[in-house]
Amino acid sequence: MKLSRRKAIIGGIVGAGFVGVGWWFAQERDRLGDVRLFNVKSDQAALNGWVKIDRHDSVIVAVPRAEMGQGVQTGLAMLVAEEMDARWDQVRVEDPPDDPVYRNVTVLLDALPFSPEVRGATVDGARWATGKVAGVLGISITGGSTSMRDAFLPMRTAGAVARDLLLRAASRKSGVAAGDLVVSEGAVRRRDGAVVARFGELVDFVGDLKPVQAPKLKDPAQFKLLGKSLPRIDVPAKVRGTATFGIDVRQPDQLHAAVRNAPTFGGAAVGFDLKGELPKEIKKVVIVPGGIAAIGTSWWFANRFLDDGLVVRWRPGPAPKLDSAALWKQYEGLLETGSAALTRTLGEAVKAAKPRVVEATYRAPYLAHATMEPMNCTARVGKRGVEVWMPNQSPTLVRKVAAETAGVATANVTVHTTFLGGGFGRRFETDLVRQAVTCALAMPERPVQVLWSREEDIRHDFYRPMALARWRGELDVSGGTPRLTGVTKRQVGQSSSDAFTERAFGAPALGQPEGNAVENPAYAFPFYRLEAVVADGAVPVGFWRSVGHSHSTFFDESFVDELANALGKDPFTFRRELLADKPRHLRVLETAAHEAGWGSPLPPGYGRGIALRASFGSIVAQVAEVAVEGGALRVTRVTCAVDCGPVIHPQIVRMQMESGIIYGLSAALHGEITVSEGSVEQANFPDYEVVRLAEAPAMSVHIVDGAAAEVGGIGEPGTPPIAPAVANAVFAATGKRLRDLPLRLA
């Protein structure tokens, strides 16, 4: 097909993924940001919207992404520091105000319900439109493993622009021609290295200097900081116990509120009766969206008061009788007869001379995020507008929802993003904003901190959707050795992206499956057909670390193992054959297998399993080693290989892989949210157990350089492969195939 020139340009920009997006916005002057944007104080000078310097020789970088452990403050600051040749020990970070310049475009491009390989006019058009919309809306979001991918060019550009300005400012100050000056190690110098001005001495000389429009970025060979495991910016405060999380916010006159959410999904409080006098510790009882809050001087007291001090009248939600068994039944029906919202066919179906069918059905349950810091939000509503302090993944949405709730313009809302005690997708949601602002409206001029107990947190999450899938493989057994002729997958589940866009933007549901739940496996199957059925449901669903990959990788990689077994092949060898034309994937797979000692003997009761997934721009393979002894399953060792493109900070990459593995392992071994009588049955860590130290396997992470130019994500790609790797290892150890999550031997 011949493309029109315009179409080719659009397709090229979009098709190039992050580079395209980065380039596109690098051309837009406003992505650099005006010098007035970034809260400039009197002893500071801003060089653009991303960086300022102060008289104490600090370089202050705007990090508009939430630090939730993924090292984003460090990683993003490194981009600026590299290009402006700052010293790492002079770099600080600050949360800039919410502004379109800090938008995250990549996350929305990623969220489209198309596999990255799928092309065509509709898809490219949708990608392009989404990019435009993201640009116009200016959504500041941390998630989808996009921060580095999105910032890689804009923030380096900001650093390069800053460097050029400092050079010219130093020339102005010293009278030395800019051409005779260089920047290195946090100072402007003569070519022989003699210092002409430290950055801090240039605060008064930047003045009206105009930024260059198209600065030259460094060639990667010149990088001094990028690629090094520099000390993380956030670590010292977190070790001293002085880092401020949302729950730690303390403002003058602050009150504390505890909440009980409606027991059934979608229910509400309609009234309440006090059992006695209102105690002096409680200022007010307020009905809030989704529940009821007691506001007082002590959260501990208010939380207890909600149990002992009043009787709430609840209006049940739309499905007060809902239970998990009925849901599975409904899904089983949809698996048989539901019409597919999305179908996709790759390759030609070939009729086998002598067919044999391999079929398997897999299940994944709902999961809670269980961030270590329970949900909270602090808000004040007063004459000066609305102020919100919150550990959140999207200040733009927080601001929008706070404005709606308080009935003011967004311009009157200020959002402060604190450290996040874990995000994992839960902190995109704005349910707590509505509750906190509602409480704050009841207590004018007083900050109110709404905090949920762990029980509320587990019972009122936006869950990773439960899902059901049936894989079918066709073999031709007419020859001597069986041959794979094709595979088909039918999958049923709610759509977290539909649910989220409806909640967040009031956009009508597209009825489309969540994008990366339906991404194609990397393997070159002779024929592949996908049918995705979208289920409606009363259980609220949302984004959970690695989103749709979290269950579909379990389905896909378990079945690839079953196919290998049916073909009488080693699971590693079989995958290698199917990846023959994908050199990057192949190297990742081979590295994991090699480092794990694939094929070397193991004691009886032990087994190894392998799994691979490309997600969020990176490729990850893992080999799990398990021991099944006395009916108990123990994961002893996990070997992980990752190709995430250019590596900014190797240690953070390794830590994120380990983090993703443990998060995924908690789900694989324990995670299960079940529903009964319209409510979640689990409530706290004893019945929603997670991996602790004693269960944590030995882990090794190997970074593979596949010579890719594009930066990949690291926050999520470590999670998807672990569950199937463990299930496959259990099969190797015992011959028993576990097809339901969480993995249970009996």
Partner 1 sequence: MIALIVDGRRYDVDVPADKPLLWVLREDLAIVGPKFGCGIAVCGACTVHVDGDAVRSCSVPVGEVAGRAVTTIEGLGRDQLHAVQRAWIEEQVPQCGYCQPGFIMAAVALLKDKPQPTDRDIDEALTNICRCGTYSAIRRAVHRAAAIMGGAS
The token pair that represents 590 in the structure block = 């081979």
> For ligand FES, what does the binding mask look like between residues 100 and 139, x meaning CB under 6 A?
----------------------------------------
For ligand FES, give the closer residue by CB, 454 or 529. Answer: 454
For residue 48 the two structure tokens come to 């653009």
Q: Which stretches of the chain bind partner 1, using CB under 8 A?
A: 67-71, 229, 231-232, 234-245, 247-248, 250, 256, 297-301, 370-374, 419-424, 451, 453-454, 651, 655, 658-663, 666, 684-686, 690-694, 696, 698-699
**Smallest separation, CB 372 to partner 1 (Å):** 4
Query: How far apart (Å, rounded) are the C-alpha atoms in residues 353 and 430?
Result: 56
Q: Which residue has the tokens 């123990």?
A: 634
709 makes contact, choosing from partner 1, ligand FES, none, with CB < 5 to 8 Å by partner type, with none
Spatial neighbors of 56 by CB under 8 A, at least 6 apart, are 43, 200
Per the structure block, which two tokens stand in for 132?
Answer: 């435009």
Residue whose beta carbon is closest to ligand FES: 372
Q: Which partner, partner 1, ligand FES, none, binds residue 696 by CB below 5 to 8 Å per kind?
A: partner 1
Taking CB under 6 A as the criterion, which residues in 403-422 touch ligand FES? 422
Query: Least distance from C-beta 69 to ligand FES, angstroms?
Result: 5
Nearer to ligand FES, 69 or 291 (CB): 69
Closest approach, Cβ 80 to partner 1, in A, equals 21
CB closer to partner 1, 234 vs 502 = 234
Q: Phi, psi at residue 6, to the nearest 5°?
A: -60, -45
- Residue closer to ligand FES (CB basis): 519 or 716: 716
Of 538 and 696, nearer to partner 1 (C-beta) is 696
In terms of CB distance, is 135 or 421 closer to ligand FES?
421
Angle subtended at Cα 525 by Cα 519 and Cα 526, rounded to the nearest 5 degrees? 135
Minimal distance, residue 396 CB to ligand FES, in Å: 25
Q: How far is the CB of 111 from ligand FES (least distance, A)?
A: 25
Please tell me the chain's helix, strand, coil percentages from 3-state DSSP, rounded to the nearest 5.
35, 25, 40
Half-sphere exposure of residue 411: CA atoms within 13 angstroms, side-chain side:
0
**What's the min distance (Å) between Cβ of 672 and partner 1?**
16
421-460 residues near ligand FES, rule: CB under 6 A: 422
Verify binding: residue 237, ligand FES, rule CB under 6 A: no
Strands 282-288 and 342-347 come out as unpaired
CB under 5 to 8 A by kind: which of ligand FES, partner 1, none does 248 bind? partner 1
The 3-state secondary structure of 40-102, one letter per residue: CCCCEEEEECCEEEECCCCEEEECCCCCCCCCHHHHHHHHHHHHHCCCHHHEEEECCCCCHHH
Contacts 24+ apart (CB under 8 A), 131-135: 131/14, 131/21, 131/24, 131/105, 133/108, 134/103, 134/104, 134/105, 134/107, 134/108, 134/109, 135/25, 135/28, 135/100, 135/103, 135/105
Choose from partner 1, ligand FES, none: what does 71 bind? Cβ within 5-8 Å by kind: partner 1
Question: H-type helices in 480-539, by residue range?
Answer: 496-505
Q: How far is the CB of 741 from partner 1 (least distance, A)?
A: 18
- In angstroms, how far apart are the furthest CA atoms of the chain? 86
CA–CA distance, 176 with 187 (Å, rounded to integer):
15
- Name the minimum Å distance from CB 238 to ligand FES: 8
**Contact status: 8 vs ligand FES (CB under 6 A):** no
**Angstrom distances, CA of residue 56 to CA of 60, 88, 141, 160, 194:** 11, 14, 32, 21, 20
DSSP 232-287: PTTHHHHHHT---BGGG---TT-EEEEEEE-SSTT-EEEEEEESSSPPTTEEEEEE
Least separation, in Å, of the C-beta of 422 and ligand FES? Answer: 5
Contact flag: residue 391 with ligand FES (CB under 6 A): no
Binding ligand FES (rule: CB under 6 A), the pick from 17, 20, 33, 69 is 69
Residue number, 128 or 245, with CB nearest to partner 1: 245
In the bound complex, what is the minimum distance in angstroms from residue 662's beta carbon to partner 1?
Answer: 3
Taking the least distance from each CB to partner 1, the nearer of 220 and 231 is 231
The footprint of ligand FES (CB under 6 A) covers 69, 372, 422
